[in-house]
Amino acid sequence: MLFLATTISLILSLLAKLAADTFLTSRISVLGSFAGFQYAVNKGVAFSITFPGYLQNILITIALLALAWAAWHAKTLLNRIAFGMILGGALANVADRMRDGFVTDFLQVGTFPIFNVADSCITIGVVLLCGEAILQWSRKKQ
């Protein structure tokens, strides 16, 4: 299940980035000014935070290796799916960055920073991991 979740997240993320790169030339409103599709580039990491020189690439590599190790050792089905989504999203952002030096973002909601499908996969995966951890913790307290 880890491989399937990683593959699906990776492919969907890359296809969405390709569509945004190809077709998104101006903002497309979905819910007025609140939400829409808006092309943006992100040279940094999460929330456009940038690090100097090669430090950013080193940090990304360390994070990917730690993530891959944790995903490989995931014990439950939900953990495998969650880690697969996180890994697929992360790999999609790395692949996009390797292509042209930045990550393509295109989903705009409110005042939140513009993001992409890969970021959504990462976020959903983290929420699933946190949800399972809370459930396990509450079961142990009973």
Profile the chain (142 residues) by mean pLDDT over runs of 10 residues. 96 97 96 96 85 88 94 94 97 94 95 96 97 91 78
Q: According to the model, what pLDDT value does residue 84 have?
A: 97
105 is catalytic: yes
Number of domains within the chain? 1
Domain that holds residue 30: 2-141
Give pTM, 2 decimals.
0.91
Angstrom distance (rounded) from CA 123 to CA 36: 19
Q: Which two tokens stand for residue 10?
A: 């990776």
- Cβ atoms < 10 Å from Cβ of 126: 15
Q: State the catalytic residue, choosing from 21, 96, 100, 119.
A: 119
Q: According to the model, what pLDDT value does residue 65 have?
A: 96
21 is catalytic: no
